[in-house]
Amino acid sequence: MRLLQANEVYDAIRTPTNFTREETEPPRFTVGQEVVVRNLNPRGHTRLPRYAKGRVGVIERHHGCFVFPDTMAHGKGPHPQHLYNVRFTLTELFGDHDGNAADTVYIDMWESYLDPVTS
Amino acid sequence: MNGIHDVGGEHGFGAVTTEANEPVFHGQWERDVFSVIGIYFAAGLCPLDEFRHSIEVMDPAEYLSTPYYVHWLRAAENLAFWNGLFTPEELQARIEEIEAHEKRESA
């Protein structure tokens, strides 16, 4: 915890946090690659939505290296990882659903949420 | 965590309601809660993810039945407990103190 003087508060609130980090490892996945979401159920914080677990998607974009929320949320450090945007069809996520068969969902996912699809 | 906050894909909540000419705050207490969380951020008391988690651990029934800034209020309380600013017992004692004072005032 930082002790703030009254005249420091405004600047402290306005200064944006930088969540990006230098890459120390090469990315495990490439754009266009099929990935399967790991069935993770941590007791703590995660940015992995329940409905995506076990589903297959395609790497849409590689964002670079970002701090890992699942450890940050518990004071366990930034543990930066590659972050990807992953594309899923609604049919893959929800099976036989009411929506348009062409609809897709894009989810930002940290590398440890994902496994390669082996064929 | 597999908490109540993770509602993506859930059915039965109905349409998202919108308020015409919605004010930024619905009451002074919402302003106060917003300010407190702002100070927490500035003081490094709650990295963004810690803030999110402090809301995820809310009682599920309360989470679903309370307005947005009640979630922020619970965050302010949980983060204070976790950072050792005050204990749940101290908070309860202060609430009772204020209630007793208000009771005397209105008597």
pLDDT for residue A70:
97
Does pLDDT of A119 surpass 70?
Answer: no
Number of domains in chain A: 1
- Closest-approach residue (CA) in chain B for A41: B1
Mean pLDDT of chain A: 93
pLDDT for residue A91:
94
Question: What CA–CA distance (Å, rounded) separates B78 from B72?
Answer: 10
In a domain, A3, yes or no: no
pLDDT tens across A33-74, in order? 999 999 999 999 999 999 999 999 999 999 999 999 999 999
In a domain, A91, yes or no: yes
Q: Encoding tokens for residue A38? A: 């790991």
State whether residue A40 sits within 8 Å of chain B by CB.
no
Nearest to A51 among B9, B38, B52 (CB): B9
Q: Where are the alpha helices (DSSP H) in A15-109?
A: 69-72, 90-94
pLDDT tens across B48-99, in order? 999 999 999 999 999 999 999 999 999 999 999 998 999 999 999 999 999 9
- Homologous superfamily of domain range B47-106: Nitrile hydratase, beta subunit (1.10.472.20)
Return the domain boundaries, chain B. 47-106
ipTM comes to 0.86
Contacts of B9 in chain A (CB under 8 A): 49-51, 93-94
Whether residue A46 and residue B47 make contact (CB cut-off 8 A), yes or no, is no
In a domain, A1, yes or no: no
Under 8 Å CB-to-CB from A2, ≥6 apart: which residues?
A: A12, B42, B43, B44
In a domain, A55, yes or no: yes
Structural domain that includes position A44: 19-116
